[in-house]
Chains A and B, each alone.
Chain A
Amino acid sequence: MAIPVIIHLLNRRRFRTVKWAATSFLLKASRESRGKKRLKHILILACRALAVGALVVAVARPLIGGFLGWGGGAVETVVLVLDRSASMELRASDGAPSQREAVLNRIANTLEEMGSPRLVLIDSASGEIQDVPSPDVLPEISSTQATDTQADIPSLLTKAVDYLQETAPGRSEIWLASDLQAPDWREEDSRWQAVRVGMESLPTGTRLRILTTKTGLTQNHSLELLASRRVDNEITLDLKLTRAQDTGSESIPITFTHKGSRTAERITMEGQELRFQKRLPLAAVDTEGYGWVGLPADFNLRDNSAFYAFGGQKPVKTWIVSHDPSGESAAYLRKAAAPTGFERYSCEVISPAQTSEIDWPTATLIIWQAPLPSGAAATNLTRYVESGGAALFFPTHEKSTENVLGISWGGIEDAPSDQFFINGPWTRDDGPWRDGIDGQILPVSQLRAIKRIAIKGEGSSLAVWDDQTPLILRKIQGQGSAIFVGTQPIDTWSNLEFTALHLVTVQRMIELGMNRLHSGYRTVAGSELSQTKLDEARTRLDDYEDDSSGQEHYRSGVYQLGDRLLAVNRAPEESSLEKVSEDRLATLLEGVSYSLFEEQNNEDDLVQEAWRFFLIALLFFLLVEAFLSLQPKPAKVS
């Protein structure tokens, strides 16, 4: 860089001497142009220095690219954290590689351009740390293939940081390839604090580079099985269809493959999400079976199927724990839980002192209409809910001081004379008072109460009174949920029984409880349940896809694992369209040296050799220098 400076200074001394007559004008002109002259000298000098600099850099063949930035080529170890969740299989267009494939190819190319530094892979499915011998094989190895699992980004980053802290492998970087799907990033996870602290403790220069691919808005559809349960001689599937873009009314063909036979029907979709139910017939002799529901191929092939399996019929047993087992309220609830004509439905009403009689594992629903329990009963109840059970709580006249699942009853309030408590808004797309499958609205607005009870504690208010206090509150605990209702279905409290809202509430809670009983046949990909146990062999039963990737333990499908029949589905969170925003990312990684590189799908490489650019720059600087050095054509003096 000093060469042009020296040349410049030497050049300045090489003057030609000329005898001159009009010296006075020269002196005047020199005085007036002193600033301009200095600026021009500086510009010429800068051009020469930059030209030499560009030449030197061009010869060094640097790598550039938005991903690496400048000088990103001198890394010894790259720890690649690969999100290979189902959402990474989204494609920008037909025939285009998926986000996972595209990012792997680009990373492989980039690593080759960088001179193949050591590559350590941590994939989201297995979470294992493995050395990849060469970037070439990265897109081919089994640990980078597609899965139907969900990613746990904070956990993976923690592993990467721990690895770097333990091995200290020289100048390193963590590359995170992810589609920034919000559920995978678990923004509320407390491990983010550990990630931040861990990254800060790494040697200076250890950067976190996040690579994501912009796919734009696609016409992708995804199918999700919310629940499946066998009721008598049919299996009921609760399905959810989601699409990335609301393009108005759309007729979507859906294929049902049930017990080996295939049927198809079209479903008309409005909006971005559609929940629907499908009942498929079973024979009384069917003890076990399976099937799947499929969508036509679209931009993500991994979210077009939902698998189910079923076993034999199970009895529907509801336990009502009442402070007054022979009372009016208990009678109404018992009729609602075991209506006449439903043979498999049964209901037993017991007093709080008899809770030890409850057979918790087979219970479909627990209705508690007594002072809230404590001790062993409370523990059993909590454990039951956490395991996926459904519980319904009604108030009593008796004072209750305990709390269950963090919820307790407050004071009882009577409506003023000749007035009622009426409800405010309620949740119509979720919970026990949701609209019917056919869109019918429940008669909640007809609800009138003359007595109510306050519900205390943190939960989701699915319906409120008109003064915004909770009418029904849901508390989700573990895999199950409990509903607290702020009034009783008897005349001295409300017309809940008259409006049949108590019947709907009980039946829908039974439905929820039945899912637990049938959940032994269903799990999500990558879960502990989906893995083979000792002495278990895995056999895939469905023929939805020809899977030879060796990734069965991370893929959805119907499997026979030893004696177990199991329908494995994609994690429901993988259908989420929510992304982590840049602002949120900045908060999560506050204090961490990171860069986010959002790449278009049609770009080939993350980095490119930049020597051409520098040669062009060299040419440019030389041209500018020549232009500045040119004698301007003087204006004619007339």
Chain B
Amino acid sequence: MKYDFLDTNILARLGAIPLESRFPMVGNVAGRHRSPHRGSSVEFAEYRKYVPGDDTRRLDWKAYARSDRYYIKEFEADTNLRAYFVVDSSGSMDFSSAEHPSKIEFARRIAASLSYLIVNQGDSAGLSCCNEKLHLEIPPSRRAAQLQHIFDSLQKIEPKGETGLVAALHQVAEKIQQRALVVVLSDFFVDANELADALQHLRYRKHDIALFHLMDPQEVNFQFDRPHRFVDLEDGTTVVAEPNLIADEYQSALKEFLENTERKAYDVNADYQLLQTDANLEETLSQFITGRLTQKR
């Protein structure tokens, strides 16, 4: 395979587990995911009183015989899943330390693997990338050629510029008309309240939100043996500091940021995953997929 970010062995092993949406989806074709509409699947949903105009074929005559009342037997409507991957391609995603992959590289691996699994189980996957603004949009599709399209796009991503993730999420929320799974891959170095607004917006549109919060191990551990001049990857701001002197304050600020982001995610019932780029990809994806099975509503 020509894409470095795809590991066929991992994909083969993960292919056995279905990736479910946690909320009912609205798709355009029948599929394996629950729909908010009643349909013709085999799974019984509920009885409701007959009202004029209902399809008489769905009357439950046995219930009428027992109760002398007309009841319509309703079944769940199963549909397909539309997954939108929103990848943050701002400059900060280009950071990597030691032998670890950069955050954008890790995001590529996750997005590509999940796209593959989704399309392979008959659902649709799409991709959006953003830095200062949303600059790439691949609408979801379930065709096999969609994967190549997505993979090519992922490979071409070059992280640069400041992050416009919040605006991009608002745009995504507006553009996606039907319920979908929105997977955001970012370091979320944005204002927490603005991010919360954007997530609320997505949730308001009844999307199932999954957040992959990517951090480099050095960003978390902050271990340096001498004074450094830190140059910001997005706006070039320079900070001269002696890490051993500010380590405690840095850790405190980072902890506050992570807790804040997680809380905002929890507020909108998003599926939040904090990941360091040295994490095992298969474990990460496996936990994500199986975790969704238990959270299904």
Interface residues of A (CB under 8 A from B): 12, 14-30, 32-33, 36-37, 40, 629-632, 634-637
Q: Which residues of A contact B225 (CB under 8 A)?
A: 631
Q: How distant is the Cα of A32 from the Cα of B9 in the complex, in angstroms?
A: 48
Q: A20-B232, A22-B219, A631-B225 are known contacts. Are A32 and B249 too (CB-CB below 8 A)?
A: yes
Do A25 and B187 touch (CB < 8 A)? no
Q: Which residues of A contact B249 (CB under 8 A)?
A: 28-30, 32-33
Residue of B with least CB distance to A22? B219
Do A637 and B258 touch (CB < 8 A)? yes
Do B239 and A30 touch (CB < 8 A)? yes
Do A29 and B228 touch (CB < 8 A)? no
- Name 9 A/B residue pairs within 8 A (Cβ), A-sorted: A15-B228, A21-B95, A21-B216, A27-B239, A29-B253, A30-B249, A33-B245, A631-B223, A634-B251
Do B231 and A40 touch (CB < 8 A)? no
Cβ of B237 under 8 Å from chain A = yes
Do A632 and B244 touch (CB < 8 A)? yes
Which residues of B in the span 40-95 have a Cβ within 8 Å of any Cβ on A? Answer: 91-95
Q: Which residues of A contact B224 (CB under 8 A)?
A: 631
Q: How distant is the Cα of A174 from the Cα of B266 in the complex, in angstroms?
A: 85
Contact of A26 among B223, B250, B257 (CB under 8 A): B250
List the 9 shortest-distance A-B pairs measured between CB atoms, nearest first: A29-B249, A21-B92, A631-B244, A21-B95, A29-B250, A20-B230, A29-B246, A23-B232, A25-B253
Q: Which residues of B contact A636 (CB under 8 A)?
A: 221
Do A15 and B237 touch (CB < 8 A)? no
Q: Which residues of B contact A16 (CB under 8 A)?
A: 226-229
Which residues of B in the span 182-235 have a Cβ within 8 Å of any Cβ on A? Answer: 187, 189, 216, 219-234
Q: How distant is the Cα of A428 from the Cα of B243 in the complex, in angstroms?
A: 85
Count chain B CB atoms within 10 A of each CB in A19, A22, A25, A30 and give the residue with the most: A22
Instruction: Please count how many residues in chain B sit with their CB below 8 Å of the partner chain's CB atoms.
Output: 45
Count chain B CB atoms within 10 A of each CB in A12, A20, A24, A634 and give the residue with the most: A20
Do B254 and A637 touch (CB < 8 A)? yes
Q: How distant is the Cα of A634 from the Cα of B230 in the complex, in angstroms?
A: 18
Count chain A CB atoms within 10 A of each CB in B223, B225, B230, B240 and give the residue with the most: B230
Cβ of B136 under 8 Å from chain A = no
Do B246 and A18 touch (CB < 8 A)? no
Cβ of B144 under 8 Å from chain A = no
Determine how close the nearest CB of chain B comes to the CB of A167; give it in whole angstroms.
Answer: 61
Interface string of B280-293 (1 = CB under 8 A from A): 00000000000000
Do B228 and A22 touch (CB < 8 A)? no
Q: Which residues of B contact A29 (CB under 8 A)?
A: 241, 246-250, 252-253
Q: A20-B230, A21-B219, A26-B241 are known contacts. Are A33 and B92 too (CB-CB below 8 A)?
A: no
For the complex with contacts A19-B231, A26-B250, 12 further pairs of A-B residues with Cβ separation under 8 Å are A12-B227, A20-B95, A22-B254, A23-B232, A25-B254, A25-B257, A29-B246, A29-B253, A33-B245, A634-B248, A636-B221, A637-B220
Cβ of B7 under 8 Å from chain A = no
Determine how close the nearest CB of chain A comes to the CB of B110; give it in whole angstroms.
Answer: 18
Interface residues of B (CB under 8 A from A): 91-95, 103, 187, 189, 216, 219-234, 237, 239-255, 257-258
Q: Which residues of A contact B187 (CB under 8 A)?
A: 21-22
Q: How distant is the Cα of A95 from the Cα of B227 in the complex, in angstroms?
A: 65
Q: How distant is the Cα of A635 from the Cα of B244 in the complex, in angstroms?
A: 12
Determine how close the nearest CB of chain B comes to the CB of A22; give it in whole angstroms.
Answer: 5
Q: A33-B246, A33-B248, A637-B255 are known contacts. Are A24 and B228 too (CB-CB below 8 A)?
A: no
Do A23 and B243 touch (CB < 8 A)? no
Q: How distant is the Cα of A40 from the Cα of B93 in the complex, in angstroms?
A: 34
Do B245 and A21 touch (CB < 8 A)? no
Do B233 and A19 touch (CB < 8 A)? yes
Q: How distant is the Cα of A32 from the Cα of B241 in the complex, in angstroms?
A: 12
Do A15 and B253 touch (CB < 8 A)? no
Contact of A632 among B216, B220, B237, B248 (CB under 8 A): B248
Q: How distant is the Cα of A634 from the Cα of B103 in the complex, in angstroms?
A: 22
Do A635 and B248 touch (CB < 8 A)? yes
How many residue pairs link A and B with beta carbons under 8 A? The number is 120
Determine how close the nearest CB of chain B comes to the CB of A369; give it in whole angstroms.
Answer: 99
Q: A15-B229, A630-B244 are known contacts. Are A637 and B223 too (CB-CB below 8 A)?
A: no
Q: A17-B228, A19-B95 are known contacts. Are A37 and B254 too (CB-CB below 8 A)?
A: no
Do B251 and A637 touch (CB < 8 A)? yes
Q: Which residues of B contact A637 (CB under 8 A)?
A: 220, 251, 254-255, 258
Do B189 and A18 touch (CB < 8 A)? no
Q: A21-B95, A25-B253 are known contacts. Are A631 and B243 too (CB-CB below 8 A)?
A: yes
Q: Which residues of A contact B233 (CB under 8 A)?
A: 19-21
Q: Which residues of B contact A14 (CB under 8 A)?
A: 226-227
Determine how close the nearest CB of chain B comes to the CB of A58; give it in whole angstroms.
Answer: 30
Q: Which residues of A contact B232 (CB under 8 A)?
A: 19-21, 23
Q: How distant is the Cα of A37 from the Cα of B241 in the complex, in angstroms?
A: 9
Q: Which residues of A contact B257 (CB under 8 A)?
A: 25
Q: How distant is the Cα of A33 from the Cα of B222 in the complex, in angstroms?
A: 15
Do B220 and A40 touch (CB < 8 A)? no
Do B231 and A635 touch (CB < 8 A)? no
Q: Which residues of B contact A629 (CB under 8 A)?
A: 244
Q: How distant is the Cα of A583 from the Cα of B19 in the complex, in angstroms?
A: 93
Q: A33-B245, A630-B244 are known contacts. Are A26 and B239 too (CB-CB below 8 A)?
A: yes
Do B251 and A40 touch (CB < 8 A)? no
Q: A16-B226, A17-B231, A631-B223 are known contacts. Are A30 and B251 too (CB-CB below 8 A)?
A: no
Q: Which residues of A contact B219 (CB under 8 A)?
A: 21-22
Q: Which residues of B contact A19 (CB under 8 A)?
A: 94-95, 230-233
Q: How distant is the Cα of A630 from the Cα of B223 in the complex, in angstroms?
A: 11
Do B240 and A15 touch (CB < 8 A)? yes
Q: How distant is the Cα of A572 from the Cα of B249 in the complex, in angstroms?
A: 78
Q: How distant is the Cα of A23 from the Cα of B229 in the complex, in angstroms?
A: 11
Q: A20-B233, A22-B254 are known contacts. Are A634 and B223 too (CB-CB below 8 A)?
A: yes
Determine how close the nearest CB of chain A comes to the CB of B117; give it in whole angstroms.
Answer: 29
Q: Which residues of A contact B241 (CB under 8 A)?
A: 26, 29-30
Determine how close the nearest CB of chain A comes to the CB of B262; give it in whole angstroms.
Answer: 11
Count chain B CB atoms within 10 A of each CB in A15, A28, A637 and give the residue with the most: A637
Q: Which residues of A contact B222 (CB under 8 A)?
A: 634
Determine how close the nearest CB of chain B comes to the CB of A628; give it in whole angstroms.
Answer: 9
Count chain B CB atoms within 10 A of each CB in A18, A629, A634 and give the residue with the most: A634
Residue of A with least CB distance to B231? A19
Do A40 and B245 touch (CB < 8 A)? yes
Q: How distant is the Cα of A629 from the Cα of B225 in the complex, in angstroms?
A: 9
Q: Which residues of A contact B227 (CB under 8 A)?
A: 12, 14-16
Q: Which residues of A contact B189 (CB under 8 A)?
A: 21-22, 24
Q: A637-B220, A637-B258 are known contacts. Are A23 and B247 too (CB-CB below 8 A)?
A: no
Q: A15-B240, A631-B243, A634-B221 are known contacts. Are A23 and B230 too (CB-CB below 8 A)?
A: yes
Determine how close the nearest CB of chain B comes to the CB of A17; give it in whole angstroms.
Answer: 4
Residue of B with least CB distance to A28? B253
Q: Which residues of A contact B216 (CB under 8 A)?
A: 21
Determine how close the nearest CB of chain B comes to the CB of A638; give it in whole angstroms.
Answer: 8
Q: How distant is the Cα of A634 from the Cα of B245 in the complex, in angstroms?
A: 11
Determine how close the nearest CB of chain A comes to the CB of B3; give it in whole angstroms.
Answer: 25
Determine how close the nearest CB of chain B comes to the CB of A467; give it in whole angstroms.
Answer: 83
Determine how close the nearest CB of chain B comes to the CB of A627; give it in whole angstroms.
Answer: 11
Residue of B with least CB distance to A631? B244
Do B250 and A25 touch (CB < 8 A)? yes
Q: Which residues of B contact A24 (CB under 8 A)?
A: 189, 253
Residue of B with least CB distance to A26? B239
Q: Which residues of A contact B230 (CB under 8 A)?
A: 18-20, 23, 26
Q: Which residues of A contact B247 (CB under 8 A)?
A: 29, 631-632, 634
Q: Which residues of A contact B254 (CB under 8 A)?
A: 22, 25, 637
Q: How distant is the Cα of A12 from the Cα of B243 in the complex, in angstroms?
A: 13
Count chain B CB atoms within 10 A of each CB in A25, A30, A32, A636 and give the residue with the most: A25
Q: How distant is the Cα of A32 from the Cα of B240 in the complex, in angstroms?
A: 14
Determine how close the nearest CB of chain A comes to the CB of B71; give it in whole angstroms.
Answer: 53
